[in-house]
Chains A and B, each alone.
Chain A
Amino acid sequence: MSFDVDVAKRLGDAEIACRIEPGPGLTVLFGPSGAGKTSVLNMVAGLIEPDRGHIRVNGETLFDGALAFNEPPEVRRAGYVFQEARLFPHMRVRANLLYGWRAGAGAVDIDETIALLGIAGLLDRWPRTLSGGEARRVAIGRALLSNPAFLLLDEPLSSLDRARREEIMTLLERLRDTVRLPILMVTHDRDEAERLGSRIVGI
């Protein structure tokens, strides 16, 4: 139950290379801004195609350069929380949360997730009326409710106040230890990396 990634891609003048050995729990991608951390997440999600290498999650191959195999993003079941919330502006919070919901998929409970994230009072609001922290929590909820096979988190704790930060960290620890969802998280904060990460991969 883990990520097995070895990819390389040339983007403009920069060569991005990343290697993640299989291992349990939450993997932190740690490194300075501009190192290509987000690009690695995009490759695992299927939004950009690596030049070579392979991506396997939970033993399932998502990309294999040697076989010219590249699974499209909609079948990878990535729960991707982007650095910006990327909520759909023409849908209320409720419709955003349910966009990726699959009936009968049922590993995550809707009401429980909403309560856990403290967003029950936001369901009828439009995304543009949310604060940064509220939008972030809705984005996390939307990703969780799509019944993901793994989570990709891009700086999930930035722009949150101290109290919320603590709550989200507790939630991530729970997902890591109880639900045992493989998580790949990008951060440039060393405290976050050391507290949450089962393993830290530098890039």
Chain B
Amino acid sequence: MLTPAEWGIVLLSLKVGGVAVLAVLPLTFALAWLLARVRFPGKVLVDALVHLPLVVPPVVTGWLLLLAFAPAGPIGPWLQSWFGVTVLFRWTGAAIAAAVMALPLMVRAIRLSIEAVDRRLEQAARTLGASPARAFRTVTLPLSLPGVIAGVVLGFARALGEFGATITFVSNVPGETETLPLAIYAALQTPGGEGLVLRLAAISVIISLVALILSELIARRAGRGTHVL
């Protein structure tokens, strides 16, 4: 049904989306916890910055990433000299773009779930001899798990659909940065590409649907009656 090249596009998309979401998950959880639980000066600013990728045109986000990771930018030379790598025109760059675009959605979902955890349960754990770390691990974390899963799924869906920032930041390199949306757009520009568009579009829908249903099932098992959908 699909040619090897088309399978390559699907697998690359899954890799970029998966790596982006998993790599940014610890950061999003930390930000979500900070925004949900800690009062500190400049919180409004941090909150706004986290949400910026949601409202700024994706092309601008991609351009800013390009400036940052360019050989003359603030991060590019550092990556080059320390790790000998560049992310420009590479799939890792596509993953970075996807992660930045997924971050606000993930932080929002996880933050809501942390805020929903009854802090009196954490107090109960403390009186039963649990250190703050154990109370977090055994009470806060499992109770916020459905929100974490919801955040991961939302972020993954957003990462799969990422177009503007990716094409601006790392361009469309077949086999390296050509994810599903980029391939669909390229096929649309090609005479006779309708069949490919149809197949890739159908796959996009199926992947997203499977991810949503899977996460709902996981949340039901983990959350005892809580829902992602």
Contacts and interface: CB of A to CB of B under 8 A. Distances in A.
Interface string A84-96: 1010111000000
B127 A73 contact: yes
Interface residues of A, number: 26
B124 A77 contact: no
B125 A99 contact: yes
Contact of B128 (A89, A90, A100, A128): A100
A47 B126 contact: yes
Given A88-B139, A90-B142, A80 B127 contact: yes
Contact of B121 (A47, A86, A100, A102): A86
Given A86-B121, A89-B143, A90-B224, A146 B126 contact: no
A78 B127 contact: yes
**Central interface residue in B121, B127, B224, B225, by most chain A CB within 10 Å:** B127
A142 B124 CA distance: 10
A45 interface: yes
Interface string B108-146: 000000000010110111111111100000110011000
Contacts of A80: 124, 127
Contacts of A128: 224-225
Contacts of A99: 125, 128, 130, 138
B124 A82 contact: yes
Given A82-B120, A99-B130, 15 more contacts: A47-B127, A73-B126, A74-B130, A84-B120, A86-B118, A88-B121, A88-B125, A90-B223, A99-B138, A100-B127, A100-B129, A100-B130, A102-B129, A128-B224, A142-B128
Interface of A: 45-47, 72-80, 82, 84, 86, 88-90, 99-100, 102, 126, 128, 142-143, 146
